[in-house]
Structure 1
Amino acid sequence: MPATQHDQSVDAVADALLNKGHISEKTFPQEHFHIVPPVAPGSGTPAVAAATADGTAAAPALPLLFQPFTAKNLTLVNRVVVAPMCMYSSKDGFMTDYHLVHLGSFALHGAGLVLAEATAVEARGRISPGCAGIYKDDHIPGLKRVVDFVHSTGGKIGIQLAHAGRKASSQPFHTPEVFGPEEYWNDQVVGPSGGPDFQWDDKHRIPRELSVQEIQDVIKAFGAAAVRADKAGMDTVEIHGAHGYLIHNFLSPITNHRTDKYGGSLENRARFMLEVIDEVRKNFNPAKPIFLRLSASDCVEHLDITSFEINQAVQVSQWAKDAGVDVIHISSGGNTALQKVSYSPGYQVHYASRIRKDVPGLPVVSVGSITSGKQAEEILQNGDADLIAAARAFLKHPTFALDAGRELGVNVNYAPQYFAARYA
């Protein structure tokens, strides 16, 4: 790898941004100059040699967390994933300097894979007017700018393709005053079923039911978003089927009361998700892997109601694998205000473990209050998952991956600009 880099594509990106009015003046090559690391941050070797039975010295096995992982043409230097996190820092869906710094810092500090936040495939599919979008070609240059920087560090990046469904047009969790009432779309909040009975809570909008033609339009929007993600250079896309957003709305009998081919049986409720997967697979580079985020349970087992639960999630995961999903990212909850979630360290690991066991050949990402290298390594050693994702842990410590390496006795590589941190 060369010692310095100036990707000529940055000139094209600057021209595009200037032409679209997203920057006030063109940027120049020296503004994109930086030192390219000879090895990717977050890779490493065992820090200490171990004595063998005959007295010779041998390097101990590298912890699983810092062994490479490969899915299709994507190889990660470690198994630490930055889970998608909504930042509510976009306008009209555009990624900005904020996203460049926010996402770029995780790659610079050794995360094996950075997954960008839930990014809407339709304008009305944004959770809030402050959420990122990938619903028009104008979004591509801003996305590519982030991708190019992550790649220049030796890192890998993907993007979560999302539609918020009945939880759309919500206020951002911070600084809601930034967006005026005209920037919401309260009468265009949609779901598989509509009406007051399907409102998430009194702070959310009343959804209307999607027509079959509109369902097809949304599926096509996922495919068009996959094309844009590929043009931006994303290494993977993650289809968002969790947390009470549109795909989860279809999967759960709590939110899906349709009587046509998209409702009723589990097979029918999963149809929308499977058609989205098929459309994304047809429109995304076939050499690149596709991830799926799935809530394995509605978390209403304490109530006597029908819901989406782990046994159904196992079946849906198998169907997703057969449809072309290469890696599944297991979460839970988010689909109903009636949920009861018991938060504790690794509280969602048992869902990931069950799916990994019952759907052989489908790599699994576990997420949920995983806050240390030792905890992450134990999950992998127990065979509960293939990759570990963290969100709040990265917000608290952007160096989470590097810290985990040191904790596990790995001689972990830092970006050359941060070499002194190895001795701190």
Structure 2
Amino acid sequence: MGTKAIVIVGKYDEEHLKIYREAILRSGLNPLLVRIVDSSWGESAIESNKIILENAWTAEMAKIEEKTLPASRREVILGKVPIVKERIDKPVYIKDMCQGLYRACTLCEESCPYNALKVDKKTGIIIDYDKCTGCGLCVSSCPLSAIQFPSVSQVALFELSKVKGDKTISCYKDNKNSIKLPCVLMLSAEDIILLRNGGKLNLVCNGCELSKDISKIKDIVSQINDKIGGISFVYPEGKIEAKDPKDVSIQFNYLSNKSEARKEILNHEKDLPLYYEVSINENTCTLCESCAKWCPTSAITLKRSKEDEIFEFDPDKCIGCKICVNVCPEGNSCSGPKAIKVEKKERPSKKVLIRDYLVRCRVCGAPVGSRRSLNLVKKTMKEKGAECDDEWLERCPKHRAEYAFQQRFGMAAKFKPRKFGEQA
């Protein structure tokens, strides 16, 4: 990495953590590249922290703030009050991993209960660190892992899941032996399944101001525990007891994001709560093709036969980004619900979402559109006072232009449009 990463074996309590942190900041090290392990925790704790540091490629992306440390008497006399660079361990946005989904995906923004994230459809995700509490719900929500914590990257979680044996995971505020994360709320269903893969999994939330947002992860743990067992979750108000563990074996070489992890998991275990189902309201859908054109994983595809236009859905490919919902032009907050809906579903099957008659050009036979979409075009044009007869409507763009030309200059007139760049 080109930057020093260190595991300190000593005492993990409030007093010693303060001492270590000040020493780390004074030395100029990145505190997010230093992990503290209590000497009583054993070799396995050291190894798990090494794995986190070996995959801490996000550590240098953290927001930096200057901080004044307590000064000694000598430093005050000499006028050398120590000012250091503090790294803020709150989620960072990695635009390259977003793959352009920010143009239509709003999962991270919707997941944040503090309104700390905004989606800018031109530049990407904007994080307001004054509002951000570091709960990690946005990290959990992103299917492409484009939002990650600087101290524990997504790849670090995947690599930890390869370690065989039982695991206990909690946050930095827990003084007991566990794998420390910024917050357990950052864990997605994919993370929990893979971490359970190597042995039993115990999640611990000791309670803080963020524990009020714990309902989502409780639901995820309950659903996965019902399927494969071996997962317990201790939180301030109670506990989810681990059910009898089933044998789970998910082998992989390298994963970079949760979408890849989901695919790998479903290749091994089909009966897990990682599926989404798309449904279409046939009364409002006009087959405009927006959902199929925008779908980043081709979970929704358009197929055409000689007579029909068909939209098919493959649940194995759907990552639940809801882009299809966001780009659907039919329905909004004023006129009613969208024509398309995405919701969690237990192992749905491939299906035809909607089918309609395919209209082809009356002249050349090229596909023009579905009957529903053309009916909408006709209705819209009439509402705006424009003429729209079926002869013009049921032609491809080229032959529509030809028809309009002949309507004006006579059917005998020859239509010879110039090619691009051709001189008049």
TM-score, with structure 1 as normaliser = 0.26
Q: Indicate the structure with greater helix content.
A: 1
Determine which structure has greater relative contact order: mean sequence separation of CA pairs < 8 Å that are 6+ residues apart, divided by chain length.
Answer: 1
Bigger Rg, structure 1 or 2: 2
Q: Indicate the structure with greater strand content.
A: 2
TM-score, with structure 2 as normaliser = 0.26
